[in-house]
A and B are shown apart, each in its own frame.
Chain A
């Protein structure tokens, strides 16, 4: 390779410095924007943005006041049909809808640490019959304050702290997470 050739090659990189920098910036940016767009679209339909209430506190969400959530851990083998190695956790969430009625799905219970396992209510599995005023979700509840009361069946090895999660389909990706302390 002659000295001229080396100079020429250096010259090409220098001459095209600006476009090269442009490519170096735009190429990763393209991938970044596409990925962000796709994930954002996916996450906007999932409960990903928690509105958190600390233990014993209520939280405003969707124009209503939720909580404070109360939790009662039943003794193993008491009253309800909890199999060995598990216990029943009763959760009550007072809701004040405010001026407009609210909608929500039945609440779920989640470990906030460790494996972050999630339980659906087990009202029927454990043979518990709720009273008429012990609602399972906020379907057809109107604007009067009411209380959601549900039971969960949780293995003994569930590690607290636990959280009650309430999803209102219209509010996604936001949802209410009420921390509870047994």
Chain B
């Protein structure tokens, strides 16, 4: 009887120590699922999902506050990838958050720019270069096409233009002939 109690208490103590050690030694910093979700999101930081950036949205998905179909720039592929990751069923994009658009890039009409710096402050990825009372310009290769610079511009001199296809970005398309069509 006493032996059993002693043995069990020792075992409990050892397990407790092991668990305690493991909790400290293998502590997980942050939620790894948030990082995984964040890695799938397109990082446009456009806020169309209703959250101020991709990471907050990833956190909301992880917490179960947001659905996986609120990211138009990620498109259907993004929703499918999120569904795969989270073991949920893929669903169509929620139209409330906007529609899928071709990739765009912001261009400042430099003739009309008054150098107010408002767009610079709005840009989530610091892709606009310029200084007060000097012309601004967009670094096209850094622009995510989030459109956040459009609204603050007091003179409406920013346009979104579709990214032109070049030889290096051109892709072979999905074969037009499908077995179904011919059958």
Determine if chain A interacts with chain B.
Answer: no
Binding site for A on B (CB under 8 A): none
